[in-house]
């Protein structure tokens, strides 16, 4: 098979993997070597779907022994199959890298023959790159669940980042859609990688030259919209992963229906990209804004609002703390204001050292005032129109979203807005008055029992919020399976 044909087939099979970041590693070039890693990461291009191309994202092979219902590369799909030879792929990576097309390699694979065999091939590509070509660029590699821990350890020494994809956010879904995979086999390499990172970090404190182990950390990916888990379940799982496994990133992938199955959404429909976007926003709130998953979504309200970002949603449910005076609030409180992020909060804080901050100064800090103005006062003055009324603000902000979707920028307050009575807020206010993390102490950083979450998630599933057909199908199938199980002669 020609190289270009292989490349096309294996890129096609790899495209549903979301991660493409090349940040977090500062591997330096060596004398006579090729390449280095940039700590901030560099995007080299953007494909026609608007996603960045930073690494050569490719499968080693798409020839899979598994038959996961959701996957494009499942054994029973009739698609062209191809497999790279390790040297072929290493050469291609170097040729692309020297032309500055890519920042490095993102190597993944379908399971060919056995997990060990697959992982061996992947390690061989990395070994060729690092040792023969003296390549010091970025390498992201998938840990294959079920592969020998020694192979995973070897991969960790050669790679910058490793990941194990969870894909299905609950054990129940995993059981139904990927019966050949086990929860334990996914969590095991994850735990091993985490332990390796922690251990090597300790060693490096004593011995400066101790070799790195997965210096850019590990990440994972969850599929959105293929199975009936709620946003709340997904966010709680992510939070557990961040706390317990110290993930660098959890990626969310809006499920593109590629296979026909009664267990999955019908192929042909658009992927739930807006929901994916809202989950990413909530994810950012967890990582950079000191939010807790419990603050964002409660049991009685398990889904994020598609028309409004999660921070606005949170703020509108907490009218008791708004509007906030930007000249007096501390950094943690500033971070709670919609339209103000870590950068503008930092700038506001440093500006206040030299005198009071006025509204023009606030504009220059880069705060997004089209949102922030409803939630702040600046030198005692409220800039959000009539008064702080969550119902009115909700209406204006969602109108803004609708206009933006249509390509307009911004929305003007109108006379009708000033006189008419706003509609009631679509969500309940949260009862607790003081749940700002700096007012009460931060929720303790006890490692969440992620494993337990997996078990529990199907119990708290909220059938009212998801497509009923999917839910009914799942339930029926589960019952059938249970029945079949029970009737087995022991």
Partner 1 sequence: MKAYLYDGTFEGLLSTLYQALREQDTNIRIEAEADYQADLFTQTQSLPTDQPLADRLYGLICQEMSAMTLRHVYRLFLSETTDAGTKLLPFLLKGFQIGSGINGLMSDPIVHPVLSLSRQVARESHRLLGLLRFQELEGGLYYASLEPDFNQIPLIAPHFVRRLASQPWIIHDVKRELAACWDTNEWVLQDLPAGETPVYSQNEEDMQELWRAYFRHIAIRQRTNPRVQRNFMPKKYWKHLVEEPGSQAKK
Note whether 38 binds partner 1 by CB under 8 A.
yes
53 contributes a contact to partner 1 by CB under 8 A: yes
3-state helix, strand, coil in the chain (%, to 5): 40, 10, 50
401 binds partner 1 per the rule CB under 8 A: no
β-bridge mates for residue 34, sequence order: 135
Using rule CB under 8 A, residue 45 touches partner 1: yes
Please return the burial class of 46, using the count of CB atoms within 10 Å of its CB with bins 0-12, 13-18 and 19+. exposed
- Cα gap 71→80, rounded to integer Å: 14
E strand or H helix at 265, and its extent?
none
Residue 46 within binding range of partner 1, rule CB under 8 A? yes
Strand order of the β-sheet with 376-378 is 324-325, 376-378, 381-382
Q: Which is nearer to partner 1, 58 or 186 (CB)?
A: 58
Q: Residue 408 Cβ, how far from partner 1 at the closest point, in Å?
A: 13
Region binding partner 1 by CB under 8 A among candidate stretches 33-41, 188-196, 233-241, 423-431:
33-41
Q: Of 195, 199, 260, 350, which lies in the binding site for partner 1, with binding defined by CB under 8 A?
A: 350
Is 34 near partner 1 (CB under 8 A)?
yes
How buried is residue 12: exposed, middle or buried, by Cβ count under 10 Å (0-12/13-18/19+)? middle
Helix (H) or strand (E) holding 220: strand 218-224
Residue 53 or 65: the one with the smaller Cβ distance to partner 1 is: 53
Shortest distance (Å) from residue 235 CB to partner 1: 23
Distance between CA 120 and CA 116 in Å, rounded? 6
**Nearer to partner 1 (CB atom), residue 57 or residue 318:** 57
Residue 57 found at the interface with partner 1 (CB under 8 A): yes
Which residue number, 8 or 260, has a Cβ lying nearer to partner 1?
Answer: 8
448-457 in b/e burial notation, b at 16+ Cβ within 10 A?
A: bebeebbeeb
Which one, 56 or 313, has the nearer CB to partner 1?
56
Cα distances (angstroms) measured from residue 328 to each of 254, 324, 360, 408: 41, 8, 17, 34
Q: Which is nearer to partner 1, 98 or 198 (by Cβ)?
A: 98
List the end-to-end C-alpha distance of the chain, in Å, as a whole number.
Answer: 50
Contact between 357 and partner 1 (CB under 8 A)?
yes
Measured between alpha carbons, how far is 440 from 261 in angstroms, rounded to an integer? 48
Site stretch for partner 1 (CB under 8 A), options 45-53, 138-146, 370-378, 409-417? 45-53
Q: Does 353 bind partner 1 (CB under 8 A)?
A: yes
Give CA torsion, residues 304, 307, 312, 314, to 10 deg: -30
Place of tokens 């009708």: 416
Q: Of 103 and 171, which CB lies nearer to partner 1 in the complex structure?
A: 103
Cβ 267 to partner 1, closest distance in Å? 10
User: Shortest gap between Cβ of 380 and partner 1 (angstroms)?
Assistant: 18
Q: How far apart are the C-alpha atoms of 167 and 490, rounded to whole Å? A: 34
Question: Residues 73 to 132: which contact partner 1 by CB under 8 A?
Answer: 92, 95-96, 98-101, 103
Residue closer to partner 1, measured from CB, 45 or 452 = 45
- Residues 298-327: x/- map of binding to partner 1 (CB under 8 A)? ------------------------------
**256 near partner 1, rule: CB under 8 A:** yes
Specify the DSSP class assigned to residue 264.
S
Three-state DSSP at 162 gives strand
- Phi and psi at residue 10, in whole multiples of 5°? -80, -25
**Residue 153 binds partner 1 (CB under 8 A):** no
Q: Which residues bind partner 1 (CB under 8 A)?
A: 3-4, 7-8, 11-12, 14-16, 28-29, 32-36, 38, 40, 42-54, 56-57, 92, 95-96, 98-101, 103, 254, 256, 270-271, 273, 346-348, 350-351, 353-354, 357, 360-362, 364-366
């Amino acid at each position: 098979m020609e190289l270009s044909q292989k490349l096309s087939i294996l890129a096609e099979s790899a495209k549903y993997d979301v991660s493409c970041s090349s940040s977090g590693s500062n591997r330096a070039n060596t004398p006579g070597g090729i390449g280095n890693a940039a700590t901030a990461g560099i995007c080299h291009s953007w494909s026609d779907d608007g996603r960045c191309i930073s690494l050569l994202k490719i499968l080693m092979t798409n020839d899979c022994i598994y038959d996961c219902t959701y996957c494009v590369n499942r054994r029973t799909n009739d698609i062209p199959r191809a497999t790279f030879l390790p040297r072929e792929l290493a050469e291609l990576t170097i040729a692309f890298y020297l032309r500055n097309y890519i920042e490095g390699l993102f190597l993944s694979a379908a399971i060919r023959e056995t997990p060990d065999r697959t992982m061996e091939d992947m390690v061989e590509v990395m070994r060729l790159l690092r040792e023969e070509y003296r390549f010091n660029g970025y390498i992201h590699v998938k840990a294959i669940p079920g592969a020998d821990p020694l192979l995973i350890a070897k991969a960790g020494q050669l790679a910058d980042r490793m990941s194990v994809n969870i894909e299905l956010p609950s054990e129940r879904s995993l059981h139904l859609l990927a019966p050949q995979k086990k929860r334990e086999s996914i969590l095991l390499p994850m735990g091993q990688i985490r332990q390796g990172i922690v251990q090597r970090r300790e060693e490096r404190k004593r011995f400066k030259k101790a070799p790195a182990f997965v210096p850019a950390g590990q990440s994972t990916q969850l599929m959105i919209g293929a199975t009936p888990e709620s946003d709340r379940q997904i966010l709680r799982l992510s939070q557990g992963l961040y706390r317990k496994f110290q993930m660098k990133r959890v990626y969310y992938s809006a499920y593109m229906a590629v296979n026909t199955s009664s267990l999955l959404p019908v192929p042909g429909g658009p992927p739930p990209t807006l929901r994916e976007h809202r989950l990413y926003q909530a994810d950012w709130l967890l990582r950079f804004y000191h939010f807790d998953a419990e603050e964002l979504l409660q049991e009685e309200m398990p889904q994020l609002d598609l028309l409004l970002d999660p921070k606005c949603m949170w703020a509108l449910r907490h009218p008791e703390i708004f509007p906030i005076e930007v000249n007096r609030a501390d950094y943690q409180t500033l971070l709670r204001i919609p339209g103000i992020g870590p950068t503008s909060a930092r700038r506001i804080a440093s500006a206040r050292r030299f005198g009071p901050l006025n509204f023009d100064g606030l504009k220059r800090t880069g705060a997004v005032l089209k949102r922030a103005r409803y939630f702040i006062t600046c030198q005692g003055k409220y800039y959000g129109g009539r008064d702080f009324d969550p119902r009115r603000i909700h209406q204006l902000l969602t109108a803004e979203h609708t206009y933006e979707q249509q390509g307009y920028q911004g929305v003007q307050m109108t006379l009708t807005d000033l006189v008419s009575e706003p509609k009631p807020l679509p969500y309940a206010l949260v009862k607790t008055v003081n749940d700002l993390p700096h007012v009460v102490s931060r929720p303790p950083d006890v490692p969440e029992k992620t494993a337990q979450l997996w078990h529990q998630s199907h119990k708290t599933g909220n059938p009212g919020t998801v497509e009923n057909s999917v839910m009914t199908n799942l339930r029926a199938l589960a019952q059938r399976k249970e029945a079949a199980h029970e009737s087995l002669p022991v």
